[in-house]
Chain A
Amino acid sequence: MTTFYTKWGAMLVAMSILSILTYNHYQQDLATLSPQHILESPPAEEVRLLGMVRGGTLRGDLEAGDAQFDVVEEETSLPVKYHGPPPENLRELKTLVLIGTWNPTAKVFEARDIGLVTNYGFVMGAYLIGLLPLVLIVFSMSRKVSLLYTEIKESTVYQPE
């Protein structure tokens, strides 16, 4: 049984290392701010803003990479000025992640890039539901096989009376 538990300990270590590496890789993308958060405590550095493009507010020259629109989340709305690569996913009523800085004098969010909503919760959920049961099943089956071997070795052969 010692070899068995050593093997599974090594697996656990490898899984932990992979989880830490993955978390570090996505850590910078995990934090997104809402329009309300930006208005309440304006950030000085570059941030990721999450919200939906309000219908009827999108204007500008999209092919040239210039656009102005409002981003809304619940009740709060924030004006956005986009200047960057021609946006392919920018359209009204679409929820997006905008990367840029808050201009406190002009009271506008100046975005330099647009990303899709990351949906990390779905990705994490799929990996946990897909892989965790398999790991647990393999562990319990292998353990049971080891225990059965011991039990068979120790059990006595049936002797009819």
Chain B
Amino acid sequence: MIHKAIRRIQRLKGWFGGGAALCIFAGLYLGLIDSPPDYYQGEVVRIMYVHVPLAHTALFAYTVLFGGSVWYLWKRDPIVDNMCHACAALSAIFTALALATGMIWGKPTWNTWWTWDARLTSFIVLLLILIGYLMLRTFIDDPEKEARYAAVLAILGFVDLPIIHFSVEWWRTLHQPQSFSIRGVSISSGLLVPLFCMSVGMSLLFSYMLMVRTQLLYLTHLLHAKKGRLLSQFHLSKADS
């Protein structure tokens, strides 16, 4: 079932890529040229249109990784494991970029590049979990064990996501509270439209990148198999034993 779903979505890859480019270009035009500067922050508020979508996408990416890991432990499907591997690398990239752009925004608004604030700290913990995940996948030789341990680590790391989300409510932090919550939307429509465009664009871009990266890992395995490297390894291990 999941194979069919992945194959069907893979066929729509071009639409995801095109949609992402369209939304991001529209968001950039609206955010950089059309939207007004903020009353208090001035022009620096425009960093929001790149930082917030990156952070949202990083969390979305980890949620996909979590879902994939649960599915893998349940069904032991190597295609889903391949997708999880691809997803972790992309999630780490989005998390690192969200942190970097946040630091750049922090300097003119908080007058510091970094502070051990609850939101920032929990976000860097997410990046460390993802780096740990990727390292784990490099160090273990047995592919089945590697996939299993990585899935367990991804599931354990998911604990950090609610902490990131609610950190601005649970603790007194320098980071601003949520703009979208059950209490309503605390952001003007002039700033909301480009933010929405960029967020949709980044999510589509992540989906597109995930498809390309999954395909890349799959094709690499396929090439190795075709060239007989997997077969050779099999013969060698057989000869050793």
Which A residues lie at the B interface, using CB under 8 A?
11, 14, 18, 21-22, 25, 88, 115-120, 122-123, 125-127, 129-131, 133-134, 137-138, 141-142, 144-145, 148-149, 151-152, 155, 157-160
Q: Which of A116, A130, A141, A155 has a CB less than 8 Å from the CB of B100?
A: A130
DSSP majority for the A interface? Answer: helix
> Interface size class for chain B?
35 or more
Q: Which B residues, 208 to 229, have Cβ-Cβ distances below 8 Å to chain A?
A: 208-209, 212-213, 215-216, 219-220, 222-223, 226-229
Would B44 and A119 count as touching, CB distance under 8 A?
yes
A-B contact pairs, 12 of them (CB 8 A): A22-B32, A115-B42, A116-B41, A117-B108, A118-B43, A119-B43, A122-B47, A129-B97, A130-B51, A133-B97, A145-B215, A160-B228
Q: Does B232 contact A (CB under 8 A)?
A: yes
Would B29 and A18 count as touching, CB distance under 8 A?
yes
Would B50 and A152 count as touching, CB distance under 8 A?
no
DSSP majority for the B interface? Answer: helix
Closest to A25 in B: B33
Residues of A within 8 A of B227 (CB): 155, 158
Other than A115-B42, A151-B223, give 5 A-B pairs with Cβ distance below 8 A: A11-B21, A88-B39, A116-B37, A129-B101, A152-B222
Which B residues lie at the A interface, using CB under 8 A?
21, 24-25, 28-29, 32-33, 37, 39, 41-44, 46-47, 50-51, 54, 93, 97, 100-101, 104-105, 107-108, 205, 208-209, 212-213, 215-216, 219-220, 222-223, 226-229, 231-232, 235
| C-alpha spacing A120/B41, complex, angstroms | 12
Would B209 and A137 count as touching, CB distance under 8 A?
yes
Closest to B29 in A: A18
